[in-house]
Chain A
Amino acid sequence: MIHLDHVTKQYHGFTAVQDLEFRAAAGEIIGIIGHNGAGKSTTLKMIAGLIAPTTGTVYINGRDIQKHGVALKRQIGYLPEESPLYENMSARQYLMFFSELYNMPRAHARRRIDELLTSLQLQNPEKLIGEYSKGMKRKVAIARALLHDPLLLILDEPNSGLDPLTSFFIIQYLKSLRHSEKTILLSAHNLFHVESVCDRVAILKNGRLLVFDTMEAIRANLGKREFQIAFRANETLTYARRDDNYLYHTHEIDDLTAMLEKISARGWTLVDLAAQESALEEIYVKLMTNPND
């Protein structure tokens, strides 16, 4: 579906994206994360065909987006980081305008708009967009991106500046799109959202791709598994306590084995053994603070 073939983007000598190479298959949900200025928005704009790479090529379904922009844009729904909308149009007028750009038959456009207004819980579609709250404007922008039922959805910070409730709603909505066979590219600062929605994650730092893999593989390669043992003993020990239990934490499997042997040898009672994996946030912080990357 998407292939970034050694893509570099420079602005007046500044390299925003450097030698980016990745592929995304149809139906995949890809998360793109990175610090401010890491090159996320530039990458998404290049994939959407809005800006041309300085070197390299962006292919969508095997075709160069710069050469076949108009045809390929029919298959793309793009949501920019901000919601730049025509504020003196109503939500319905606004969506109708864009349906005309896609040459959608009027009756079909009206049905589709009603469907999106309902599923995104957009109330008062006759109200001027300028009178909407930020969350409602974001929903209008999302409805616009979905209007023509695109195969590829590019969402730049879909939750940017939204309250937690609207943010949660939008993430749940994106999850519901998983069954629609759409390929979704999503950039976000909220790593929990990325972790909960995406199949694979790309981590960018200073315009370079540091990691691009599934969450499982990222955890296995970069994360740490933490083991926690809860046990009871009839003596006073120096371990941390919770309720009546003592707690023991370790990242090392050898230490875990040694502790289990100790519990058995001392006649203490094993209450619980749990393994907890690193969250994406931990891995991300580790990568971003590593000066070697």
Chain B
Amino acid sequence: MEFYLLWTVAQRELREALRNKWLWFYAVGFGALAFALAQAGMASAGYAGLGGFGRTAASLVNALLLFVPLIGLTVGAGVIAGERERGTLMYLLAQPVNRAEVFFGKALGAALAVLAALALGFGLAGIGLASAGGGEPAAYLALGGFATLLALASLGLGFIISALTRKAATASGAALILWLALVFLGDLSLIGATMTFRPAPSAMLTLLLFNPLQVFKLGAIYSLRATLDTLGAAGQYAMLQFGALLPWFLGALLSAWIVVSFGIAFALFNQKRNVG
């Protein structure tokens, strides 16, 4: 694999993704919401800056849980399907580049665009926190780290959808359905499973870790030094099992989500040789 080819494809993909108005719509939406949450949360904290930050960050986690997967999934879903639909993918593959250079170049470009959007959102939220006079930079950075991993894992899932579909509209629709499933059905099914089967905390934790959003939520809340009882028995069990290593374990798990999702997407892309 030639890096200069991968980088050439990545630069074009980055320019293309940065033109995507939806990316900026979501990023600005998240940033504005985060800014407002920061202002409101810190204002209600009075002198107790730390408590104010905790509340603000917990609200931010919920905003991140909605926006980050949405950005990753929708951007990822459009990349390959869009090019395939327009016929430009076939044209690109007629050049002296292999499929790995095209795929990973696109993945890199899209990842940089998503991270740019995330940085904008986090930047706005950071300004909100700083101007309200509170915050914990280390905790905020850790939250940013988990959000980055979640964004890339969502992008990988978006790429799987994109590799499977021929039309951009179909891919976007599928991305939205997956987003709804991860965000809402994931939570509902967990609650349902808990109430119906009353599983052991270990089983609960295993179930939870199958959803990258829940992994992010655990990691984010741990980083904010909030008590894990907000996550119930599974959170406390995780804390007992992994102790101080928990954020590293969760980070590794999200990284595995990234590697596996992009790996599956590449395998699918490589398989569809006859359709560009």
Contact = CB atoms under 8 A, between A and B. Distances in A.
B94 A103 contact: no
B96 A100 contact: no
B273 A51 contact: yes
B196 interface: no
A101 B8 contact: yes
Interface string B247-262: 0000000000000000
Nearest to A99: B8
Contact of A88 (B4, B5, B19, B98): B19
B88 A48 contact: no
Interface stretch (A21-29, A70-78, A116-124): A70-78
Interface residues of A, number: 25
Contacts of B87: 80, 82, 84
Contacts, number: 55
B198 interface: no
A97 B8 contact: yes
A98 interface: yes
Contact of A70 (B8, B96, B273): B96
Nearest to B92: A101
Interface of A: 11, 48-52, 69-71, 73-74, 76, 78, 80, 82, 84-86, 88, 97-98, 100-103
B interface, over-half SS: helix
Given A86-B88, A97-B8, A101-B8, A78 B94 contact: yes
5 contacts: A52-B273, A76-B94, A80-B87, A98-B95, A100-B4
**Chain A CB within 10 A, most for which of B9, B87, B94:** B94
Interface of B: 4-5, 8-9, 12, 16, 19, 86-88, 90-91, 93-98, 273-274, 276
Given A11-B274, A50-B276, A86-B12, A70 B97 contact: yes
A103 B97 CA distance: 11
Nearest to A74: B96
A69 B273 contact: no
A270 B188 CA distance: 99
A5 B22 CA distance: 49
Nearest to B87: A84
A88 B16 CA distance: 8
A101 B97 contact: yes
